[in-house]
Amino acid sequence: MKGIVEERCVELGSYIVENQATVRAAAKQFGISKSTVHMDVSERLRSIQPQLYTQVRQVLDINKSQRHIRGGLATREKYRMEEE
Please check whether residue 41 is in contact with residue 13, taking contact to mean a CB–CB distance below 8 angstroms: yes
Q: What do you get for the CA distance between the two ends of the chain, in Å?
A: 51
Q: How far apart are CA 55 and CA 83, in angstroms?
A: 41
Measured CA to CA in angstroms, residue 37 lies from 56, 62, 68 at distances of 12, 17, 21
Domain boundaries, the chain: 2-83
Nearest to 50 by CA among 20, 9, 2: 9
- pTM tops 0.85: no
pLDDT in tens, the chain (84 residues): 467 899 999 999 999 999 999 999 999 999 999 999 999 999 999 999 999 999 999 999 998 888 777 778 788 888 888 887
